[in-house]
Amino acid sequence: MTLDQNRLRIALQKSGRLSTDCQQLLKGCGVKLNLREQRLIAHAENMPIDLLRVRDDDIPGLVMDGVVDLGIVGENVLEETVMERQATGQSAEYSVLKRLDFGGCRLSLAVAEEFDYQGPKSLEGKRIATSYPWLLKRYMDSQGVKFKSVMLNGSVEVAPRAGLADAICDLVSTGATLEANGLVETDVIYRSKAVLIQSANPLAASKQKVIDKLLPRIQGLQQARE
Ligand code: ATP
Ligand code: ZN
């Protein structure tokens, strides 16, 4: 299976917190998909749309490199990728077509219950475990606090207990995971939702037509849920 240049290409998270909502969204827009097979690419049956099912971290880059036309990703991952790409001289162009009504979460600092936290200054010179080093650095710079980041792509919440870090900067929705790990949320540094983004590359008229069909349907679905 390959990607057809004439079909609108949309990158979605293959499996994770955004995947069910993304599939529901497309279904609600009348896009008929056959996702039973665990394939990288899925062709819509009734519209000229191909889905690329990947890890969420890969979605902003695929859009910014023009490999796909659209992508759905959390603003947290999007913003982190923009900062990283800008710092390394890669293109970071895209446009937001729609902020979506799912995937809500916040990126927060948290410390162990016994940590005497008096504000960001309490983290001066400390080690902070995170998967979001750029968002964290932007916040700490804004607070004038120097720190050391410990990059972890998973198990961030166990880092303090394991002696790997003094604090963490991680995604939170209910706070249950923090609590289960004896951590207390101290500062919300970024609030996020899923967004539909588009590549900055010029789009063929036929693909634009498909987008013009999808957008009002998404709008209608979101309004109905309000
Ligand atoms: P992948 O295997 O695709 O890399 P992942 O483990 O990095 O998946 P998920 O945990 O599935 O990612 O989260 C995907 C996105 O869902 C997050 O980047 C964020 O935008 C959103 N999200 C919503 N609530 C939460 C939460 N409580 N914790 C983590 N992410 C959340
Ligand atoms: Zn990921």
Identify the residue whose tokens are 């947290």. 76
Does ipTM surpass 0.90 in this model? yes
Identify the CA nearest to 18 among candidates 66, 74, 97, 87: 74
**pLDDT for the residue 158:** 97
Which residues line the pocket of ligand 1, CB cutoff 6 A?
13, 16-18, 55-57, 74, 76-77, 103, 105, 171, 173, 192
105-160 confidence digits (pLDDT tens): 999 999 999 999 999 999 999 999 999 999 999 999 999 999 999 999 999 999 99
What contacts 120, CB < 8 A, 6 or more positions away? 109, 139, 140, 143, 145, 187
Inter-axis angle of helices 75-87 and 133-142, nearest 10: 80
For residues 168 and 159, the answer to whether their CB atoms sit within 8 Å is: yes
Q: What does pTM read for this prediction?
A: 0.96
Q: Which of 20, 22, 105 to mutate to test the pocket of ligand 1 (most atoms within 8 A of CB)?
A: 105
What is the 53 CA–ligand 1 centroid distance (Å)? 15
SS (H, E, C) the chain: CCCCCCCEEEEEECCCCCHHHHHHHHHHCCCCCCCCCCCCEEECCCCCEEEEEECHHHHHHHHHCCCCCEEEEEHHHHHHHHHHHHHCCCCCCCEEEEECCCCCEEEEEEEECCCCCCCHHHHCCCEEEECCHHHHHHHHHHCCCCCEEEECCCCHHHCCCCCCCCEEEEEECCCHHHHHCCEEEEEEEEEECEEEEECCCCCCHHHHHHHHHHHHHHHHHHHHHC
**What's the half-sphere exposure (Cβ side, CA atoms, 13 Å) at 27?**
9
Interval 76-95: pLDDT, tens: 999 999 999 999 999 999 99
Residues surrounding ion ligand 2 at CB below 5 Å: 56-57
Residue closest via CA to ligand 1's atom 13 equals 17
The structural domains of the chain, ordered by start, are 8-103+193-225 (3.40.190.10), 105-191 (3.40.190.10)
Q: What integer is the mean pLDDT of 96-111?
A: 98
In contact, 58 and 40? CB cutoff 8 Å: no
Residue 68 — pLDDT band, cuts 50, 70, 90? very high
